[in-house]
Amino acid sequence: MFGCFKKQWAWLLTQARDAAANAGRQTYRAMDSKKVVIIGGGFGGINLAQKLSRNKSFEIVLVDKNNYNFFPPLLYQVATGFLEASNISYPFRKFFQDKSNLRFSLGGFVEVFPEERRISTESGDIRYDYLVFATGTESNYFGMENVRKNAVPMKTVQDALALRNHILRLKEEATKEPDAATRKKLLSIVVAGAGPTGVEVSGMLAEMHKSIFKKDYPELKREEVQIYLVDALPVVLNPMSRKSQEETLAELRGLGIEVLLNHAVKDYDNGIVTFADGNTIETQTLIWTSGVTATPLPGLPAEVFGKGKRVLVDAYNRVSGFDDIFAIGDICLMTADEKFPDGHPQLAQVAIQQGRNLASNLSKWRDGGSPKAFEYNDKGTMAIIGVNKAVADLPGLHFRGFIAYFLWLVVHLFSLIRYRNQVKTFYNWMVAFFTRDQSLRFILDPKPEKPAH
């Protein structure tokens, strides 16, 4: 009996020692944890946060002016009423529910104070051990104030919803307009910028006019509607292969889109788009997809900014001159990658890969290991023009037509961050594919109605 009691007592002592040691390790880990603050929850920020959250020695705070992540490549489908905003968006707090060391802070970035390891946001100050900028880009109007004030950009969910409201309101207005010239101005659309976004939104609008708007608005004549795709460059889809450029141009013109290359927009005022050569187009809709510039980062010294206001970083995405501040994605300019000596293209895959690589490097630095220099794995580019019309440049391969269209759908579908988004988007795409229509053309104005007097 005494022997049994002795064994139990020894077991209790062992358990107590293990509990004390474990508590000590947890206390040490909590005291020794590093706080990583990520500004921006786009492709780069969300992938960095997700991968880094697996390492419990980091305390992570993601800061964003929106309370949701969204998928920019599909904004134009929200703008044209083929997808709901919720299809391409997901709340950060729900995404982080099962991640004990990851927190979200709502508020736009205001300024960084590197000497204090502190940032200021619209909702307060946050201190950091490591700071990561993943803020992306904003529309670049090249100093044209009238264009900035009057054009419709395509950078945010709010932009997409505003464009949808704008187009549908003009259609309704045109049905009541007796003057043919005024009606044509209401119905004409100019898309500035012949990159992937410009090509995709103009192609989608052209198909809608052919198959949808003629049924929704029988009062309007097809010939009164004109879509212009304009660009200062001599080609469409400048980053893609010449074959893709030529095929896309032919498809766009086949849809009835008037493509005006070597046409630089110089002004947009009083419903008139003016080009550098003096030519003009009258329209109430100028969709601006023509250029981007890095978002401003007050508090960083002027010498860390390069071309396009992008932040200069080394091979590990460290901001020039700093050991504890990093930048990833569209906002950074890295020239250390031998394959891309002029910097990487501002594409989603670059941001995703840089976010994941930085997460690995932060863990390696934390454990005393050697970091890995970033090398971009180019998986190709693609653009959709319309139903069964697309181009894809993959490493060593080129596709067009239905195959490229199918590849585009698969890649974009599985790039959405949650199954819920994937299922809802797939459903809406299938409805649109078989009916060439969709029932999401609502005018939703968040402004409250004025009370009647």
Of 137, 124, 138, nearest to 63 by C-alpha is 124
Q: Can you tell me the distance from the alpha carbon of 424 to that of 429, in angstroms, rounded to the nearest whole number?
A: 9
pLDDT, position 426: 87
CATH 2.60.120.560 fits domain 145-290+381-435: no
Determine the angle formed by the axes of helices 43-52 and 348-366, rounding to 10 degrees. Answer: 30
Determine the angle formed by the axes of helices 196-211 and 242-254, rounding to 10 degrees. Answer: 20
pLDDT, position 28: 34
H helices of 33-109, where? 43-52, 75-79, 92-95
Sheet with 397-400: strands ordered across: 381-386, 389-394, 397-400
Residues with active-site annotation: 200
On whether the CB atoms of residues 342 and 308 are closer than 8 A, the answer is no
Which helix (H) or strand (E) segment holds residue 69: the answer is strand 68-70
Cα 313 to chain centroid distance, Å, stands at: 21
* DSSP codes joined into one string, 153-178: E-SSHHHHHHHHHHHHHHHHHHHH--
Q: Do domains 31-65+107-139+293-366 and 145-290+381-435 have the same CATH topology?
A: yes
pLDDT, position 9: 52
Of 270, 266, 273, nearest to 287 by C-alpha is 273
Structure token pair of residue 81: 């009423």
pLDDT, position 25: 39
Structure token pair of residue 218: 């029988």
Extents of the domains making up the chain: 31-65+107-139+293-366, 145-290+381-435
- pTM value surpassing 0.85: yes
Tens digit of pLDDT at every position of the chain (453 positions)? 445 445 555 555 555 555 544 444 343 344 478 999 999 999 999 999 999 999 999 999 999 999 999 999 999 999 998 899 999 999 999 999 999 999 999 999 999 999 999 999 999 999 999 999 999 999 999 999 999 999 999 999 999 999 999 999 999 999 999 999 999 999 999 999 999 999 999 999 998 888 888 888 888 877 778 999 999 999 999 989 999 999 999 999 999 999 999 999 999 999 999 999 999 999 999 999 998 899 999 999 999 999 989 999 999 999 999 999 999 999 999 999 999 999 999 999 999 999 999 999 999 999 889 999 999 999 899 999 988 899 999 998 999 999 999 999 999 888 888 888 888 888 888 888 777 777 778 887 766 555 444
Task: Give the phi and the psi of residue 295 in degrees, each rounded to 5.
Answer: -70, 145
Q: Which amino acid is at 3?
A: G
Q: Can you tell me the distance from the alpha carbon of 453 to that of 70, in angstroms, rounded to the nearest whole number?
A: 40
CATH superfamily of 31-65+107-139+293-366: FAD/NAD(P)-binding domain (3.50.50.60)
Burial level of 136, CB count in 10 A (0-12/13-18/19+)?
buried
Q: Can you tell me the distance from the alpha carbon of 281 to that of 203, in angstroms, rounded to the nearest whole number?
A: 19
pLDDT, position 10: 55
Of 80, 160, 104, 84, nearest to 421 by C-alpha is 84
Name 136's Cβ contacts closer than 8 Å, sequence gap at least 6: 40, 42, 44, 295, 329, 330, 331, 351
pLDDT, position 21: 46
